[in-house]
Amino acid sequence: MATTKVGIREFRAGLADYIARVQPVAVTRHGQTVGFFIPTRTDLAAEIAALRSAAAQLDEVLALDDAEIDELVEDYKEARRG
């Protein structure tokens, strides 16, 4: 697999496209390679599920009344001490 070479300006302008690629990209400046961009694959479905879970937990916290929030804060402080 050949590495694509692109100038730094072209790389910046097309960053979204380079992120979606699988192949590494050699970034050049005045014809000299100054770095490599190596895209990584992530499990997008797992990331979305984690964000949805965090949002649901935040919704639960936002629905608490003041007394429940105070209790939650005290539980957190106690957990940090221990």
| CA–CA distance, 34 with 9 (Å, rounded to integer) | 12
Q: Are residues 67 and 50 in the same domain?
A: yes
| Rounded mean pLDDT, 6-10 | 96
> What are φ and ψ of residue 33, in 5° steps?
-70, 125
51 and 27 share a domain? no
Query: Is residue 51 domain-shared with residue 25, that is, in the same domain?
Result: no
Instruction: Look up the domain containing 28 and give its range.
Output: 4-37
Residues 51 and 75 in one domain: yes
Q: Are residues 73 and 48 in the same domain?
A: yes
Query: How would residue 31 be classed by pLDDT, with cut points 50, 70 and 90?
Result: very high
Query: Do 68 and 49 reside in the same domain of the chain?
Result: yes
Given a cut of 70, whether residue 43 has pLDDT beyond it is yes
The rounded distance, in Å, linking the Cα atoms of 18 and 55 is 30
Cα separations (Å) of 4 from 29, 34, 74?
14, 13, 55
Is residue 28 within 8 Å of 47, Cβ to Cβ?
no
The domain tally of the chain equals 2
pLDDT at 2 over 80: no
> Quick check: pTM over 0.95?
no
